[in-house]
Amino acid sequence: MTQEAIVISTTPPLPGLKLVQDLNDALETIATDFAGSVDPAAFAGPYMTWADSANMQIKRRNAANSAWVVEGALLSHGSSTLTFKAAPSAASDDVVVQSQTFGVGQTLQDVTASRAIGTTYTNSTGKPIVVYVSTTGTTTSSGIVGRINGFDAAYSTRDGSSGSLVLNMVVPAGSTYVVQNIGNITGTIWRELR
């Protein structure tokens, strides 16, 4: 990555080799945006980006090309843990806020005893959850349907014979959800990742 001028000088006329070198430098800068500790404002245009290694920030030039706007924190290259070299100024600067990540701090729980087919529940965990329901259809035409906020989200049906029905759905935080039966079912098992 480089920080070279992206406008090629036209005066005085450049000799062929110098023109090719300047053009290659400009194209490399355009292809990789800007990176480094020195402010490349003199070379930048509107909406161009700069990996500011001095302040460990990703910046984008504003529409008027008059200032850099901080987009977020620059991460340590090659880090397997994605640690920051500099602390972000706010949670919104993080690439991932771990406490909000799906699956982190959640466990798969058997909630069969506290759930019933046809009853509406609300996901009040603050994070998405996964609902797993398995049951057995006892009639030749049976099934289960999962609804989130009143919309069909998942279903499992059987035609022609009785047998297993399995349903999985991701329920966003704050959403209501219900699993309803079609025909006769028995032996329901209900688990949730929450």
Is 85 domain-assigned? no
Per the model's pLDDT, the better-predicted residue between 103 and 3 turns out to be 103
Do 113 and 181 lie in a common domain?
A: yes
What integer pLDDT is reported at residue 3 of this predicted model? 62
- Domain holding 26, by residue range, is 16-73
What integer pLDDT is reported at residue 95 of this predicted model? 56
Containing H/E element for 26? helix 16-32
What integer pLDDT is reported at residue 13 of this predicted model? 73
Do 122 and 185 lie in a common domain?
A: yes
Per the model's pLDDT, the better-predicted residue between 25 and 156 turns out to be 156
Let me know: does 71 contact 58? Beta carbons within 8 Å. yes
Is 88 domain-assigned? no
The answer for residues whose C-beta is within 8 angstroms of residue 160's C-beta and 6 or more apart is 140
Residue 34 has pLDDT above 80, yes or no: no
**Integer CA distances (angstroms), 60 to 25, 51, 194, in order:** 21, 9, 38
CA nearest 155: which of 135, 140, 139, 175?
Answer: 135
Question: Which range among 18-22, 34-38, 113-117 has the greatest average pLDDT?
Answer: 113-117
Do 115 and 61 lie in a common domain?
A: no
Residue 6 structure tokens? 């992206």
Q: How high is the mean pLDDT of the chain?
A: 82
Is 125 domain-assigned? yes
Is 142 domain-assigned? yes
Number of domains in the chain: 2
Do 45 and 112 lie in a common domain?
A: no
Q: pTM of whole model > 0.85?
A: no
